Structures are given as structure tokens and as C-alpha cells.
Structure 1
């Protein structure tokens, strides 16, 4: 009976969301407070209904109700309970329900913030959100029903994909969806601004926290996905430029440009067109990622193998959302006139260059991702675009963007002094030069590229530190005054500096594993020894092992270097229900890098194929991502001074209408 409750809740949610969108647009056009109140309160009810549906599906997984097709196809009675629960979103239907749950949650939170926004802007934004919710609820109900019954009920299920039975990938999709779906709010604000013909500092102040929190969640989601790929797939890498990986990276790039542009609108009432277009682009690329994963047009370890006909429905949503919003932008962009002028050499000018570079980088990823698909559709030829293309084109653009970031943060708003800013960066340039010379003399390989990469890291960190030092007048004012300035420094300034520092740490990790990784592939028997990066690694033993729903071979290794002995264990697991194998790599995390070992099947009887890696600085990848996300959170927490337009007393009728449900 529980699945039927969930299904009925989804039907009610769809009907109410459709009515809500009509009421909100009507309320925005007229003076009828009843429409507005109904629309706002409906947002909360729709969220409650979708939450009931999601809880119903999770209950079906928890109790192993194999009469539900979704549970039968993605669960098994022997599966650990935690993965029964996370299996709720480890499939196409359940993940789409999670997507809509987050979408309705954000809409409900937005509805509760009615007093903080101008009436027409708030209602129009909620109305656009309601249309998006209606579209995805229709997609679930008509093509991807998670509550479809299977009669008679089988005795057991077929199990969850073993690659998804992992803590990292269990929490990776929710964070990724929080980022994807989070960009729907700036998108709705952008469309609302175009409809009303006005995007001002109040609009930017309302959009900025939503853009920041979506960007933070997406940063965490991408980092979790790369961490899972690193330790679970046994290939020794962290990013393969897989199309689905790229699908999450593209909205991150657009979102990075968005949060900078919205800041300019908020501070200077400039770059409004940029901000609105980037808000549309970020969510549009999130929809493109959804299409890639669920359309059946590609095969990926991350993709859901679904009926391609479902892709047609998603494609229709994508065309309506992207085409409709860009059409409105083309018709109404001229109404977004800026009042804040600025010179080319200024903080605003630097951010325009930043936006252009980020969008060019995004276009490079887009072409590399979709070009093989276009060729396949047009000619039937199968081609692939791999890491060499992305490394050759994307890496220089990213390097230029990071290098210019240190300069841009030191320029003044409206009109900057480039020579003075460069003069302030002399200490950072000196430190970068010293690091570059040391790498050229001490590195045994990848000297030039390594020297440039580490110099760039020092340059970016130095720029962020000099910016903060300048703001607090370090060494230019008494220590007490500087300390007082530190306490009064806006969170947005701290957030930007910390985020830039995090990107520098990330770049250090990427440079280390890309330029100085050591790899050895050997066939090892018990007692044999191999060498990698000065480590002597011995395969001590391989023993059978049984888990809750798998059987495995566990390999114990001993590594020795400079008198130090390290014990590591890895596994090769086989899941009988699914007939699939997974690798649990043996990893020793340490300074200055990871010793990483994965092993395969002993098919010949002469030994196990073993891959040995030493990955320098690799842990800085995820440390950098965490620091970057922390910077975003600090900036998110900074609300700044409330603009005058948000401090006015609302008329009684409007205030009553805006009261939360």
C-alpha cells in the first residue's frame, strides 16, 4: 500500500504545481493577493507531497518490497541495509525523484522568503520554479514511474550495481543534485528579471546566496565523485574527462563566472546582462548533464542505462527551458541597462575577462564532450576525444585564468591602477620565481611544466595573501589597528581569498599527479617483489574472503623504503547476484604522496597482474576542493549591509500577502 501512497502523492503534487504556476503568474500581473498566497503556500505543500513520495520509495527499499519493479531491479535481501537505503537514488527513477525532492525543497525555502523580495520578482521567480517542477513531475509520472508494481512479486531482487555500493558514491549524487538543482533558483530569478525588465542590486543580493550555495554543493559533489573514482576503480587516476564527469564540470565553470558577475551587479549595478545570461547558462548546462546521463546516447560508468525514448522527453524539457529562456533574453536584454560605468582596467574589467575565459574553457569541454556524439549521429562513425585534447587546450586557458585572478583581486572598483597592482604583487612574483628555479634544478622530469605549475600555485596564493594584507594594512598600520580590520573584514573578502587559496592547492595536486606520477605494471606471485618510486613492494599473500553479499580475494602487500615498512591490503570483489567485479585499491596516504596498488585476476595461474603507483601531492586535490568550498560557504554567510530597498515598510496588503504559510 505504501507505494500507492507515494504514487498518489506525486499525482497530487503534479496537479498542484500546475495550478501553482498559473496562480503565481496571475498574482504577479494583478493585485489579487489570494493568487499570490495560494501560490506561495502551494510551494510548501508540493514539497511535502514529494517528500511523502520519496519516503514511500525509501520504505520500499528498506523492507525489500520486491513487488516494486524499481526495488526488484536495484536491491537484494543480502545487501547491507545502508545500501538498501542509498539504493533509493542509485537508479534512474529514484534519482529523478531525489532531483525533484531537492527542486521542491528549494522552491519551498524560496516561498518562505517572500518578505525579502519585491512582490512581482518573488512571484515570477516562484512561477518559473513551478513550471520546472511540473515538467519534471510529468517526466517521472509518464516515463519513469518509481512505484510500478511487479505481480507476482519475485522472491528476491537482482541487486544494486556493485560500483554504487560504496560510501563515497552513496553521498556523491545528493551533493551533485543539490548543486545542479540549486542553479534552478538563479535561473528562475534571471527569467523573472527579464519578464519584469529589471535586474538591480536588490535582485543581485537575492540571487547571490543561491548561486553560491549551489556552487558549493556542486564543488563538493564533483570532489566526492573524483575521490570515489580514485580509490574504487583501481586505475590510479582521479579524472578521466568522461562525458558525465564533464557534464558536472561545465555548470561548475559557468557557476564560477556567475558568482563573480552577481557580485559586480550587487556592488556596482553593472554587468547585469552577464549575470542573467550566466544564470541561464549554469542551469541549462545542468539540464544538459541530466540529458547525457539519462538519454542513452552514451555509455559511462556514471550513466544510467535507460530506454532512449526517455531522452526525448528530457530533450523536450531541455529545449523548452533553454530555448524559451534565451528567447526571452534576446527580446528583453536591452531592458537591463546598467547604471555603473567602469574602465577597462578595473575590478569589473578583470571580471569580464574572467567570464570570457571561463566560458571559453566551458566551450572547450562542451565541444570535446559532444563532438563524438554529433559525429556518431551524422555518420555513424565511432570516435573518442580523450585527455590529450583537454590537456592541450583546457589546461592553458585554466592557467591563464588563475594567473589573472591574482591581479584582478588587487584592482580597484570602477577604475584601477594596473602598475600599482603589479607592484604589490612583486613578493608573490619573487616567491614564484624561486619555486620555479628550485623545480628546474631539483626535479628529475617534467621540469619546465612542473616549474610553471608550482610557480602558478605560489603566485595565486601570494596574490590572495597580499589582497588580505592590503585590506587590513598589515605592516602599514599599528598591529592593533590591523587586528581590528581583520575582525571587521567582510566575509565575502575572506571567502574569495580562501577559495582562491583552495584552487591553488587543487592545482598543486593536479600538477603533482599529472607530472610526477610513477607507475609500474608487473605480474606478481606470492613472495615476489616489484619497485615503484624507490619503494620495494612485496606481495605477501592472497587469501579468499567473504563479505555480506560478495566474495573476494584479499591481497596483503609490504612496502619498504629508507628503512620504513608499510603494510597495505587491497581486495578484488565479486558480486554473484550481479555477476560483477570491483576493485578495492590498497592505498597508503602520506606526505608527499600516495602509494597506490591495485591487482587483477590470476587467470594464467602464474601470478596476479599488479599496478603500482606513486601519486605525488594527490591529496591536495581534495584538500583544495574542501578549502574552495569552505571559501564559498564563508562568502555565502556574508549577507553584507541590507540595501535600502529591502528595508522599506511594505504596505499592509502586500505584507499580509507575503506572510509565510
Structure 2
């Protein structure tokens, strides 16, 4: 009965979504206040019905209701309860329900926190989000119903959750990533609403910016969590592999980064409006494109969901309707979005525009590297592989000018800058960056790698130029301490965002060029030395889990004859799935990780192990966290705490 209730809730939610997509926007068109005010109640009703459906599916997993086909395919009675609940979004059907739950949550949030906006503005934005909901709910109900029964026959037990997903990472990574993906639907809705009414003023850009920043923060954290999850779970010590599905998450992040910078220019100077609207459309379009890639069956990846052609065609049709319809509307109405303002060649506007262009170039690199092998194979030219060297090479050459402009941009003024005024600061910053960057590589590495030194120099170039900019801004008209206190949250957000990127670049540069990988054969009592650390194989013991059995290899780690840690690597055999999994053991440190993965038992009763030394790898995730803190600081700026008078002026 509960699954039928969940299915019925989905149908009611679809009906409310249809009303939300038509009724309020019609009211905005004819000026009917009652119809416009219905937008928020309809959004709340849609969200509650989706929530009821999600709860019903979660309950079916919790009680092991194997009469539901989706539960039987992705759960098992021996699976721990917390993994049974997270298995709800462990495959295609449930992940779409989670997507719609988050979509409904964003829609309600816009409705509740936009009460000060004109009713016609809220009505249009929520109606566009309702249209997105209609598309996804049709896909779920018609092709991907998670409540389909197996009755009158049903399994005594389920086929279990994919062992790769039986990890705490599944609990937090997909919801966080979806919060970012779906959050860009708010930016998309604002962009479409602006095209409908030919209005895009600076106050509107300010409101638009906070929602876009929120989505960008979630997506940044989601990608970082995915990188961290893959690092410790897959057993091969990699943090990023340029997997096509990883690329599908990176593409909207690149566009989103360009969008929040373009919005900053639109808010401050009232320019780049048409460009900003286009970026908002592309950000959500790429989120949908990633959804299609994951579920189309075109890609072979550990991240993809198995899917049939019918589902792929439905998603492709929805993708074509959203992208084609929005770009057509953009082409017809963009000329009405007027931009007034001028700026000189040397100005902050031009620095931001140049970096936007470099971000778009990076997007095309990722898009080309992801799609070219698929197209090449589909047109009958055979298989072609585009791997890590292609992406690393092109991203390196794009990153150098990007980081250079990132350091210059905050130092020059809006509208008209003067290179003479910043020449001394740039020369000093550049010199110090080179010395400190090379010094860091010299101290922490056994040999010199030019590209690693370049990454370190880029990191300190960002940090030092940002420090100079903060000093100049603080001492412009005030004493240093007084000036620092007067800097707003948005200013500190910029500083955190840029410094976080610098920290991330240093982590990437060091781990890419100085990591050590060693495959060894060991028996109990053997010792292996890696980078001054001695790995002593203490012993082997059995382990029995709730739905698996396996072995644990115990190691003592010594440095200079001193015990620094004990590691416990695991090899698990999942009984239902009949698959073997590796659980890596990691000794974490600020400047390095020691990573141990257990391989196969060999013929002479010895074991294969893989040992990694990963320098500065945690700086990659530290950098992402610092960038996310910058986004949160931007959202907390007092300029976004709209007073009622300001809200009345906000119109689309």
C-alpha cells in the first residue's frame, strides 16, 4: 500500500507542477494578483507530494519490501539499515526522485525567500522551475517508475547494493552534487524570466547572484566530496581520472564560475547582461547534459547508471526542449537587454571578461575530450582514447594566463585602470612568488620538476597579489586595522575564493609530479621502505561483515625507527554480488598521505600490495573548502539582506 501511495504522490506532484508552470505565469501576463500569489502554495504542494513519494520509497527500502522491483534490485536484508536508506538514490529511478525532491526544495526556497520581490517576478521564476519539474516527473512516471511491483512473484531477498556504493560517501556526495546541479535551475529560471520581460537591472542581478552562488557552493563541495570518495574507496589512489562522468560534473562548475564573476560585473557596473543570461542558460543546460550522459548508456564508467534506450530518448527529448527552447528565446529577445557602460582596455571589467573566455575555453576542452571518443565510435571510425595527458596539457596552458589575470584583476580599478599604479605591486608580487614557489618545491621535493615549480609559483602569485589587494583596500582611506574591519563579506569572499584556488593548484602540482607508486609482494614479517617510511607487515586476520567476508592486513609504519601509525587494509568479498572490493588504509598528513591497498593472494601464500606516497594531496580538498567558504561569505553579505523598499524596486 505504501508504494502505491508513493506512486500516487508522484502523479499529484505532476499535476501541481503543471498548474505551477501555467497558472502563475498566466496571471503575471494578465496582471491577476490572485493567480500570481498561487505560485508559492503550488510550489509547496508539489514539494510535499514529492517528499511523500520519497518517504514511501525510503520506507520500502527500510522494511525490505522486495515486492518492489527497485528495492529487490538494489538492496538486501543483510545490508545495514543506513545503506538501505541511501540505496534509495543508488540507481537510476531513485536518483531521479532525489533530483525532484531537491528541485522541489529549491522551488519552495525561492518562493519563501522572495516574498519581497514583485509578485509578477516570483510568479515567472517559479513557473519556469515548475516547467522543469514537469519534464522530470514525466520521465520518472513514464519510463522510470521506482514503485513498480514484481507481484504476484517476488524475491525472497534482494540482489544487494553495488559494493562500490556501500560507503559513507554515498550518503553525502550525491545529494550535495544534486544540490549544485538543480540549484542552477534557479539561475536558469531567473534568466528565462528576464528574457520574457526584457528586464535585467542591477538590483535583479544582485538577487540573481545569491542563488547562483549557493548552487556553485554546493557543486564545489559535491565535486570535492566525489574526488575524496574516489580517492579512498576505489583503491588506486587517484583523486581525479578525467572520467567522462567526472567531466560531466566539471563542465557546469566551469560555467557556474564564469557566471558568478559575470554577475559581479553586471551588479557593479550594469554591463555583460546578455552574456550573463547566456551563461545562466548554459549552466543548467550542462547540468541536464550530464544527467543524460550518466543515464544514456553511451558511457562506460563506474559512475553511470544502467539504462535502456527508451529512458535515454526521453531524457534526450527533454534536454533538446530545454536547451533548444531557451536558446531560441534568447536569440529572439536578447537584443532588448540593453547594456550601458564603457571601460578601458586596462580595467577590472576586461580582466574578468578575459578570465570568462578562458573558462569557456576550458569547458570546450572538457567537452571535446568527453564527446570526441563517443562521436568517433558512433560514425564508424573506430575507438579513440583521449586520456589524462590531453586534459593535463591543455589545462596547464589555460591555467597560466588565467591565474596571471586572477592576480592582476583585483588590483586594477573598475572602468579605467592605470598600469603604472599597479606596476610596482606586480613586479614585487611576481618576484616573491617565484622565489617562494621554487623554494617550496626545493624544500619538499627530492628533485626539481619545472611544472611542479610553476604550479607553486602560481599558487603564491594568487596568495601574494590577494594580500597586496587587501592591504591597499584596507589602507585606502583608513588605518590598517580599521580598514580591515570595514571590508565587507563580499570582499573577503573574493579573497577566500581566489586563495582557495591557489591552494588547490599547489596540491595538484605536487601530487601530479611527486607521487610515488610501488607494487610489492609481501609475506608476514616483511618490510618495505618508501620515501623514508618503513611499512612492516604485522599479520593477516579474517573479517566477517554484515553482507561480506574478507581479510585485514595489519601494518606498522615506522619513520626513523619510531612507530608513527598502524594501518589496516582490507579485502572484502560481497556474497550476493559475488564481487571483490578493496578498502584502502591511509595515514593522513598535512604535507603527505601514505596510502596502502591490498591486492590478490599469490601462489606462494604471499600477498600483492600497492603503496602510494601522495604529497600535498589534501591541499586539493582544503582548497575546495576554502573556495566554498568564500561562496558562503558572499551569500552572507549585508547587501543581500534586502530591505522592503529595495525589494519593491526589484522587477524583472
Fold agreement, TM-score > 0.5: yes
Say yes or no: does 1:281 pair with 2:275. Answer: no
Paired residues, what number?
Answer: 648
Q: Which of 485, 489, 499 is residue 497 of structure 2 equivalent to?
A: 499
Task: For 1:203 and 1:650, locate their aligned partners in 2 and report how far apart those are by CA, in whole Å.
Answer: 9
State the 1:534 CA deviation.
2.2
Separation in structure 1 between the aligned mates of residue 451 and residue 467 of structure 2, nearest angstrom: 24
Alpha-carbon distance in 2 for matches of 1:45, 1:439: 57
The answer for unaligned runs of 5 or more in structure 1 is 655-661
TM-score of the superposed pair, with normalisation by structure 2: 0.96
In structure 1, what is the equivalent of residue 468 of structure 2?
Answer: 466
Q: Give the equivalent residue in structure 1 for 2:139.
A: 139
C-alpha distance in 1, partners of 2:367/2:391?
11
Is this contact kept in 2: 1:121–1:196, CA < 8 A? no
Partner in structure 2 of residue 558 of structure 1: 556
Task: Find the residue that maps to 2:115 and give its secondary structure.
Answer: helix
The answer for the alignment partner of 1:306 in structure 2 is 307
- 2:116·2:644 contact (CA, 8 Å) conserved in 1? no
The alpha-carbon distance between structure 1 residues 98 and 648, as it changes in their structure 2 partners (threshold 3 A), is closer
Offset from partner CA, 1:553-580 (integer Å, 9 cap, x none): 1011122222222321110111111112
Does structure 2 retain, via aligned residues, the 8 Å contact 1:346–1:411?
A: yes
Compute the RMSD of aligned alpha carbons: 1.9
Does the Cα contact within 8 Å between 1:365 and 1:394 map onto a contact in 2? no
Q: Partner residue of 2:510?
A: 512
Q: Which residue of structure 2 lines up, in the alignment, with residue 623 of structure 1?
A: 622
User: Closer, same or farther in 2 for the Cα pair 1:130/1:539, shift >3 Å?
Assistant: same
Query: Are positions 1:78 and 2:62 aligned together?
Result: no
Shift of 1:650: 8.5
Say whether residues 1:161 and 2:162 are aligned partners: yes
Contact 2:191/2:280 (<8 A) preserved: yes
Which secondary structure does the structure 2 equivalent of 1:640 belong to? helix
1:5 aligns with 2:5: yes
Q: Structure 2 vs 1, CA of residues 484 and 43 (structure 1 numbering), >3 Å: closer, same or farther?
A: same
- Indicate the residue corresponding to 1:201 in structure 2: 202
Instruction: For structure 2, list consecutive stretches of 5 or more residues without a partner in the other structure.
Output: none
Alpha-carbon separation, structure 1, partners of 2:591 and 2:108: 47
What is the correspondence of 1:106-117 to structure 2 with a 5 Å cutoff?
106-117=106-117
Question: Residue 52 of structure 1 corresponds to which residue in structure 2?
Answer: 52
Question: Which range moved further: 423-432 or 337-346?
Answer: 423-432
Question: How many Å separate the matches in 2 of 1:238 and 1:73?
Answer: 29
The answer to whether the 8 Å contact 1:407/1:422 transfers is no
CA contact (8 A) 2:498 2:627 kept: yes
1:449 to 444, 448, 451: 451
Alignment of 1:58-457 (within 5 A): 58-151=58-151, 152-379=153-380, 381-438=382-439, 443-457=445-459
Aligned partner (choices 527, 532, 541) of residue 534 of structure 1 = 532
Note the alpha carbon deviations across 1:533-559, whole angstroms, 9 max, x for none: 222222221221111111111011122
1: CA distance, partners of 2:470 / 2:368: 38
Partners in 1 of 2:645 and 2:182 — Cα distance? Answer: 26
The yes-or-no answer on 1:613 pairing with 2:612 is yes
CA contact (8 A) 2:437 2:460 kept: no
8 A contact 1:345–1:418 mirrored in 2: yes
Please report how far the alpha carbon of residue 92 of structure 1 lies from its aligned counterpart in structure 2 after TM superposition: 0.8
Cα distance in 1 for residues equivalent to 2:219 and 2:619: 18
How many angstroms does 1:265 deviate by? 0.8
Native 8 Å contact 2:33 2:119 kept in 1? no
CA distance in 2, matches of 1:202, 1:646: 12
CA contact (8 A) 2:441 2:456 kept: no
Answer with 32-41 or 161-170: which moved more. Answer: 32-41
Query: Any idea what SS the aligned residue of 1:115 has?
Result: coil
Instruction: Say if 1:89 and 1:98, in contact at 8 Å, map to a contact too.
Output: yes
Deviation (angstroms), 1:444: 3.3
Change over 3 Å in CA distance of 1:484–1:37 after alignment to 2 = same
Q: Distance in 2 between matches of 1:380 and 1:6?
A: 46
Partner of residue 541, structure 2 = 543
Larger displacement relative to structure 2 (307-316 or 335-344): 335-344
Secondary structure (helix, strand or coil) at the match of 2:411 reads: coil
1:440-474 C-alpha deviation (Å, 9 max, x unpaired): 7554335211221111111111111111111111x
Q: Distance in 2 between matches of 1:559 and 1:637?
A: 45
Please list the CA deviations of residues 107-157 of structure 1 after superposition, one character each: whole Å capped at 9, or x if unmatched. 111122343323433222111111100000000000000111111332111
Change beyond 3 A, Cα 1:308–1:526: farther
**Secondary structure of 1:647 counterpart:** helix
SS at match of 2:586: strand
Quickly say closer, same or farther: Cα 1:136–1:441, change in 2 above 3 A: closer
User: Mean alpha-carbon deviation: is it higher for 524-533 or for 419-428?
Assistant: 419-428
Return the TM-score normalized by structure 1.
0.95
Q: CA deviation at 1:341?
A: 2.0
1:425 match: secondary structure: helix
Deviation at 1:383, TM superposition (A): 2.1
Distance 1:439 1:634, change over 3 A: closer
Shift of the alpha carbon at 1:64? 1.0
1-structure distance, mates of 2:640, 2:112: 21
